[in-house]
Amino acid sequence: MNLEAILDHIEEAETIIIHRHVNPDPDALGSQGGLAASIQAAYPQKKVFLAGEGVGNLDWLSTMDQVPDAAYANALVITVDTADTPRVSDQRFNTGKFLIKIDHHPNDDDYGDLSWVVPEASSTSELIYDLIQHAAGRLGFNATVARLLYAGIVGDTGRFLFNNTSAHTLRVAAALIQEDFDPTALNNRMNQITLAQAKLQSYVFEHLEVTASGAASVVIPLAVVENLGLTSDQVHAAVGTPGRLEGVVAWAIFVEQPEAPYRVNLRSKGPIINELAKGHHGGGHPLASGAKAQNTTEIAEIRAQLDALVTQFVTA
Ligand SMILES: [Mn+2]
């Protein structure tokens, strides 16, 4: 546990720049914004920046700051929710004075001068709450912080549906909703999809292939995404779709990109799929990973490997 050291570095730094991963999800933005608001509440005189490129259609949750290059010279840089350095949004993260990594993904790339990685945590937002609790007054807490962290936990647990939801996660959530924000409004906003996203889900159901063991997969052609007018972050709304189907144990969604490779979203209700993902330029959590497929040959390979994992799981 590096919590004391993290708090010392925050206390000492005059400028703190917080980065998160590319294509941010609510946990990336919630942990980033929540930590920033917490630091700012305790230390109003410090300069705290949110760094990173576009937040896509999550701009209702958080927006980024313009960070001048010069700000990095003496800065403490903290990355949240970002397992490896290529995925850090805004690569200037490496130009600060000291770098801290806070994350809940498997620690395959232990970068930074200091890192605090807890793969058992539901989300990085949960970890930020733990840090605030541990700080016992050295960090601030208010409704702004609570709303952002709650959004992150709701996002990464699929509204407390996934198996990363622990008793501790629920205790943290209980503490967060005691603050003055509207969790129902936030849940409704996070659950909202556009008609085009609903049509994409419909495409997934129409074209899903399910093996006898319960391995499901679908290829979403670029033309489908373009015809629906969807941006790449909006496509994410279809990733969980096959999981509701009876008999589906694990699934892969292959999303064709403007330039190869295909983006591969892997999800599972039981079989461990992140080793499969690592074999295809990806990685992630045991039951939720991402990978890449260069072509239809690699797609067929991933489909076969997923089917083998599911078969092994259901016959074990
Ligand atoms: Mn996360």
Q: What is the DSSP string of 50-101?
A: E--S--GGGTTT--PPP--GGGGTT-EEEEES--SGGGBSSGGGGGSSEEEE
- Determine whether domain 3-191 maps to CATH 1.10.600.10: no
CATH number listed for the domain at residues 195-315:
3.10.310.30
CA of 93 to the centre of ligand 1 (A): 19
Query: How much is the average pLDDT of 18-34?
Result: 96
Ligand 1 centroid to Cα of residue 212, in Å, is 32
Distance CA 161, CA 174 (A): 16
Span from the CA of 297 to the centroid of ligand 1 (angstroms) = 31
Tell me: pLDDT of 110 over 80: yes
Say what the pLDDT of residue 234 is. 87
Cα 109 to ligand 1 centre (Å) = 16
pLDDT score for 232:
81
Domain boundaries, the chain: 3-191, 195-315
The rounded Å distance from CA 156 to ligand 1 centre is: 6
Cβ neighbors of 49 (< 8 A, separation 6 or more) are 15, 16, 17, 18, 36, 65, 67, 71
Ligand 1 midpoint to CA 163 (Å)? 14
> What is the rounded average pLDDT of the residues 120-145?
98
Ligand 1 centroid to residue 174 C-alpha, Å: 19
User: Can you read off the two tokens belonging to residue 160?
Assistant: 């407390």
Is residue 316 very low, low, confident or very high in pLDDT (cuts 50, 70, 90)? confident
CA of 90 to the centre of ligand 1 (A): 18
Nearest CA-CA partner of 83 in 100, 99, 98, 104: 104
Please state the rounded mean pLDDT for residues 109-130: 97
Distance 288 CA to ligand 1 centre (A): 11
Binned at pLDDT 50, 70 and 90, residue 1 comes out as: low
| Distance from residue 26's CA to the centre of ligand 1 (Å) | 8
Mean residue pLDDT of the chain comes to 96
Helical H runs in 119-193? Answer: 124-135, 143-156, 167-176, 183-191
Say what the pLDDT of residue 204 is.
98
Instruction: Measure 28 CA to ligand 1 centroid, in angstroms.
Output: 6
Please tell me the predicted confidence (pLDDT) of residue 252: 98
Mean pLDDT across the stretch 14-22? 97
Average of pLDDT values for 64-76? 98
Confidence at 285, pLDDT banded by 50, 70, 90:
confident
* Protein residues within 5 Å, CB atom, of ion ligand 1: 27, 81, 123-124, 156
Q: Return the pLDDT at 259.
A: 87
**Cα gap 75→52, rounded to integer Å:** 16
For 82-110, what is the mean pLDDT? 96
What are residue 290's phi and psi, to 5 degrees?
A: -130, 150
Cα-to-centroid distance, 124 and ligand 1 (Å): 5
What is the DSSP track for 274-298? HHHHHTTT-EE-SSEEEEEE-SHHH
Give the mean model confidence (pLDDT) for residues 52-71: 95
pLDDT, greater one: 232 or 78 = 78
- 233-276 residue pLDDT tens: 889 889 999 999 999 999 999 999 998 789 999 999 999 999 99
pLDDT exceeds 70 at position 277: yes
pTM of this prediction exceeds 0.85: yes
Residue 316 Cα to ligand 1 middle (Å): 30
C-alpha triplet 48, 89, 153: angle, nearest 5°: 75
Confidence check: pLDDT of 176 > 80: yes
45 CA to middle of ligand 1, Å? 29
Instruction: Calculate how far, in angstroms, residue 126's C-alpha sits from the geometric centre of ligand 1.
Output: 9
